[in-house]
Every structure is written in C-alpha cells, then in structure tokens.
Structure 1
Amino acid sequence: MIPEVDRALRSLIERDALDGADVEVAFDAPTKEWVAKRTGPSIDVFLYDIREDLRRRERGLVNEYDGSRVVARHLPPRHFKLSYLVAAWTQRPEDEHGLLAALLSCFLRHDSIPPELLSGSLADLGLPVPVGVALPPPEDRSFADVWTALGGELRPSLDIVVTMPVDTGQEYTAGPPVTSPTTLAVAEHDGSEILEVRHGRPRSGAGES
C-alpha cells in the first residue's frame, strides 16, 4: 500500500501545488549524491518513518454477510503513520520558498487524500486516508537529526504525515448455517430427562425445579 500512497501524493502535488509547472517530483533520499545529480527544479518527498497509530487500533472482529447470514469474520484494519520529509530544490532560495508555500497551501486544503486519487487496495478499503502537515515532531526525534542522518545540510522542509489503513488479511470462515431443528436431551442415569436443548438454547422450563 505504500506505493499507492506515493502515487496519490505525487498526483496531489502535481495537480494542486504545481499546476502544470515543470518541476520534478521525486521520492529519493535527499543525500548529497542525489542533490548533485539534479538537472532542474525538484520537490523531494522522502519517506523516513513508519509506525502504527495505536490510538486507531480497534478490537474484536468484523462480520461479513451474505444477505442476512454471517459467512466470515475478519480483524478490522490497522492504521500506520507514514512520515514524509518534503523539501524543494531550485537555483534560488526565493523559488524554493515559493514551492514550499504552494505545497503548504495544497495540503492545508485537504484533511485527507481525495478519494479520486486513491488506487488499488487502498481504494478498495473505502476508508479515509488522513493527511497532517507541519505537525510538531515526536519527542524521540527532530528534523535536524533526519538531515544529519542523510548526510545533508539542514534546509526548510515540510513534514507530511499520511495515516494509511491496512487490511491485516486475517479472516475466519464462519460455520455452516443450521438448516434443520436440532435437539439434544440430557438425562439422569435412571432415564429421567433433566435438560433439553433446541437450536443451541435450553427449552423454556426444562431442567427447572
């Protein structure tokens, strides 16, 4: 599903931030080697962190129906936060700032990725894919640490966090439906009946003293 999020982000940036401008959108690590190979204005959307959003984890099972009959049960989707470092490269700092402003405006207009930009299994789930922009970083890391790990110089950038729903694939087939009455009688050793069960439920009054 991560490539599907990448494609959706690329489409959103090209449609709502660049508006036809001749700017490359890349998903490479912005290392010194990558920067040296650039041939024109670029926006780099670098995925640097993946972690589960535990606040969204649901318990229990979800029923799947065929008409009124339960045919299977599956675990609800899990949600993972994909953190992207988004930066711009041009010949002039003011042009880079202009691209960052366009990107910021683009993501502020959308609380989630537009459904028409979703594809594959991400679209099949039919769930929203929230997007957060320029949120404070977690306490266990800073953006300066990310740039240092990449071996590059600190530069202005946006932190984009996409919360991606993921189907766990854990499904359990339900047993066949009951099509005829079933009776189970339990008796004492002398043959006197003490309990009769029909369709899995005790008969009213059966076994009562």
Structure 2
Amino acid sequence: MIHEVDEGLRRLLGGSGLEASGVEVVFDAPTRDWAARRSVPTVCAFLYDIHEDATRRGSGTQEVYDADGHLVARRSPPRWFELTYLVTAWANRPQDEHRLLSQVLACLVATDTLPARLLTGSLAELGLTVSLDTAGSGLDAPAASEVWSALGGELKASLGVRVRAPLAGVSTAVAPPVTEGLLVRSAAGREDGTEAVPGRRLRYTETAAPGPEGFAGPRERRPAPARRRRGERQP
C-alpha cells in the first residue's frame, strides 16, 4: 500500500506541471550526501512516520465472489494508516526553491483526496477514499526539526503532508461449492453372498455415480396425497 501512495503522490505532483518543467519528484531521504549529488531541480517527498488510525478499525468479514457469482474467499476489513511526508524543494537558489514549494503547496491544498484515476494496485481495487491533509496543525508526528536532526542536515523550509490510506485485509479462501450429491458405497458383500451395490446416490433413483448436474439433476417426485375434507371418512 505504501508504494501505491507514493505513486499517487508522484502522479498528482507531476500532473501539476512539475514534470513538464523538468522538475524531478523523488522519495529519497534528503541527507547531506543526497543533497550534494543533486544536479536538477527536485521536489522530495520523504516518508518519515507511519501509524495506524485505530479509531477506524472495523470488524467482521467481507465476502468475495468470482465472475460467476460463486463465493471464493472471505476478507477481513481494511485497516487505515496515516503516512506523514516531509516535502521539500531543491534548486540552485532559495528563490527558485520557494517558487517550487509554492507550486507544490497550491497543488496539495487544492486536493483533499487523491483522485481515483491516480490510484493503482490495492488502493484502486478497494475503491476507498485516500485523503490528504497538507500543512495541518494536528499532525501527530515528529517535528520537522527532529527529522532534520536525525537526517544530519540543516533545517530547510518544508511542508508536512499526511495521507490516510487503507491497507487491504487478509483474504481466506473458502472451499469450492458442492456440485455433487452424496454417494454411498458398501465395504463388504451382502449376507446372501451376492456382491454389494457399487454405489448409490442419495435422493436419486438409478444413479450409481455423480452426474455433471449433481443435486440439480432430475429425480423422481411422488404425487402429493389427496387432502381430505373435514368430516370425510377415509375409505
């Protein structure tokens, strides 16, 4: 799921005009060594915090059907996680970095949810909302200064972006549907010395082996007994 969120963000930022202007969108850790190797204008979205939103944890199971309408699996409900990114802009001059960061900010604050056309893999399959919170005040994650200190770099203007995304539940396959009736075979011969009947299909007449229709096959039905009227004697 994490790499699918990365791809959604990359498509969102790239579609805002960054890629058309030659700006790279990467997800590397912005360390000093990385910054020294950078040679082109870059927007870096560094994922530095992941935790579950326990308030959205569900219960029960979801049934999964194939194209023919047969039950093939049961899936536990998805679990929601919050992914926090540190978004920075890198260029030769601070003015260019601020211009890039302003373009990124305008794109992200105008997007509350990742559009479905940008989702891939399990996120697209689930069809659930993937929300974005940009530069919010309630980000439950380490402060930007702590992140820069851990990376060994100098403090830089950045945006905090939190993405709430579902992780698909675990699927458990179920047994295939029963298509054959119950076949009874005897293990020994009869008391009169004759051989045992090879097999008999319960609830069927003159059926010794499973047919392709199983219980859906034809079987003999006896006519229902005639109903007696009240006070009428049985002959």
Q: Same fold (TM over 0.5)?
A: yes
2:42, 2:81 → 1: CA distance?
27
More moved, 51-60 vs 141-150: 51-60
Partner amino acid, structure 2, of 1:50: I
Query: 1:115-154 CA deviation, whole Å, 9 max, x = no partner?
Result: 1111122211111111111122656621100010000111
More moved, 130-139 vs 100-109: 130-139
Partner of 2:108: 107
Partner of 1:34: 34
Partner of 1:3: 3
Partner of 1:131: 132
Q: Shift of the alpha carbon at 1:15?
A: 0.7
RMSD (CA atoms): 2.5
2:50, 2:175 → 1: CA distance?
34
Partner of 1:44: 44
Query: 1:85-125 CA deviation, whole Å, 9 max, x = no partner?
Result: 10001122121111111111111111111111111222111
Query: Is the 2:84–2:141 Cα contact (8 Å) retained in structure 1?
Result: no
Cα 1:138–1:4 shift into 2, 3 Å: closer
1:69, 1:45 → 2: CA distance?
43
Query: Is the 2:81–2:167 Cα contact (8 Å) retained in structure 1?
Result: yes
Partner amino acid, structure 1, of 2:46: F
Cα 1:132–1:17 shift into 2, 3 Å: farther
- TM-score, normalisation: structure 1: 0.76
Structure with the larger strand share = 1
Q: Secondary structure in 1 aligned to 2:161?
A: strand
Query: 1:61-87 CA deviation, whole Å, 9 max, x = no partner?
Result: 223457898664321111111111100
After superposition, residues 157-168 of structure 1 pair within 5 angstroms as 157-168=158-169
Q: Secondary structure in 2 aligned to 1:144?
A: helix
Gaps of 5+ in 1: 181-209
Cα 1:70–1:3 shift into 2, 3 Å: closer
More moved, 62-71 vs 35-44: 62-71
Partner of 1:58: 58
Partner amino acid, structure 1, of 2:135: A
Gaps of 5+ in 2: 182-235
Query: Is the 1:73–1:174 Cα contact (8 Å) retained in structure 2?
Result: no
Partner of 1:77: 78
Cα 1:140–1:163 shift into 2, 3 Å: closer
1:159, 1:4 → 2: CA distance?
19
